[in-house]
């Protein structure tokens, strides 16, 4: 159906993109001149202990002072870091950076609860991560979060998030994900944040039409939702684009490729038909074999050009705001 409901409730989502310089490792301790000029604090993590300041990522975060106000780069050297990591609320302005997500991994295998199982939990505002793989290796059968984000102005660039159920708990706050890879089987992007996913690959490993998203918007006036722009949806068998964790769940796909793994129905109501009139599930100019809307559920929305333009304006143009550390 063409979108006619909630048209006045597109949120103004402002994402703050932190301006930073690329870095090079050019001397024995990994500190380049550009890093010294750009960052007020630089901490090197090297699990071998041969170079750097700490062997574990958590130790590096612990070394940042409470109530931090200085831009801090934590540079993680390549390796498999087997640890649970928490960035507490009183340590904002941290960038956690690898060199390449293919060879820099934070991994753990906890399960059972979305709030205690995450491999990486972020509670501090103004957090940035780039070039990292964050995974929970527990596997199917239990909730096993790789990344939990519960803070304002969090950004992720060229990262990979891998688990099966509830991979990314995008809990609350305003977040931006660019060129990331997100893999899971059930509700693997969930929570009630206001988040923009740009040029990300969303990969379903579900065997039984598991949902990609479980967005938890609870009230009509909440400016939250998941927005996927220029993304790619792939997988191994079958999936749906989302199901409502909250009664006003809001998810929109714009200009995104959908492979044939996307179920023709597109969306699932999680056995809650009363949500048909309250959820906001929209698509605009998506393409690929999974984007055919001829069999979509009637309560999903085929966005008009006007509505899509308003959405893109509010999520993309305002996103050009910049702050500097």
CA neighbor of 44 nearest in space, from 111, 123, 97: 97
CA neighbor of 253 nearest in space, from 211, 305, 291: 291
CA neighbor of 215 nearest in space, from 229, 234, 232, 228: 228
**Spatial distance between the Cα atoms of 43 and 54, rounded to a whole number of angstroms:** 8
Say which of 46, 126, 170, 187 is annotated catalytic: 187
Q: If 0-12 CB within 10 Å is exposed, 13-18 middle and 19+ buried, where does residue 273 land?
A: exposed
- Residue whose tokens read 């995008």: 170
Q: Which two tokens stand for residue 291?
A: 């984007």
Quick check: is 187 catalytic? yes
Say which of 126, 166, 170, 269 is annotated catalytic: 166
Tell me how crowded residue 38 is: count the other CB atoms within 10 A of its CB.
Answer: 19
How far from the centroid of its chain's Cα atoms is residue 210's Cα? 18
Residue by residue, DSSP assigns 104-156 as: EEEEE---S-TTT--SEEE-SSS-EEES-EEEE---TTS---SEEEESSSEEE
Q: Residues 6 or more apart from 29 whose CB is under 8 A from it?
A: 44, 51, 52
Q: Which residues are catalytic?
A: 166, 187
């Amino acid at each position: 159906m063409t979108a006619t409901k909630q048209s006045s409730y597109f949120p103004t989502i402002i994402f703050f993109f932190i301006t930073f310089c690329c870095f090079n490792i050019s001397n024995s301790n990994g500190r380049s001149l550009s890093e010294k000029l750009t960052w007020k604090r630089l901490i090197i993590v090297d699990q071998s202990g041969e170079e750097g300041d700490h062997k574990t990522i958590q130790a590096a975060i612990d070394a940042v002072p409470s109530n931090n106000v200085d831009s801090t780069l934590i540079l993680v050297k390549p390796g498999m870091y087997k640890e649970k990591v928490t960035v507490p609320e009183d340590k904002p302005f941290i960038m956690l950076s690898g060199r390449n997500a293919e060879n820099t991994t934070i991994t753990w295998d906890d399960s059972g609860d979305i709030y205690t199982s995450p491999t990486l939990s972020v509670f501090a505002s103004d957090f940035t991560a780039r070039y990292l793989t964050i995974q929970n290796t527990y596997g199917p059968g239990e909730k096993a979060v790789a990344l939990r984000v519960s803070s304002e102005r969090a950004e992720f660039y060229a990262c990979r998030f891998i688990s099966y159920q509830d991979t990314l708990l995008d809990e609350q706050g305003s977040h931006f994900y660019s060129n990331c890879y997100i893999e899971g089987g059930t509700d693997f992007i969930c929570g009630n944040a206001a988040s923009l996913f740009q040029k990300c690959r969303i990969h379903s490993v579900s065997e039984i039409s598991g949902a990609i998203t479980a967005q938890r918007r609870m009230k009509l006036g909440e400016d939250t939702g998941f927005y996927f722009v220029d993304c790619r949806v792939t997988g191994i068998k079958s999936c749906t684009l989302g199901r409502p964790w909250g009664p006003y769940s809001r998810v929109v796909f714009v200009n995104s490729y959908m492979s044939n793994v996307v179920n023709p129905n597109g969306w699932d109501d999680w056995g809650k038909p009363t949500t048909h009139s309250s959820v906001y599930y929209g698509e605009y100019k998506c393409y690929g074999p999974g984007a055919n809307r001829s069999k979509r559920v009637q309560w999903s929305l085929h966005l008009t050009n006007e509505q899509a333009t308003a959405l893109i304006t509010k999520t993309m143009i305002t996103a050009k705001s910049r702050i500097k550390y």
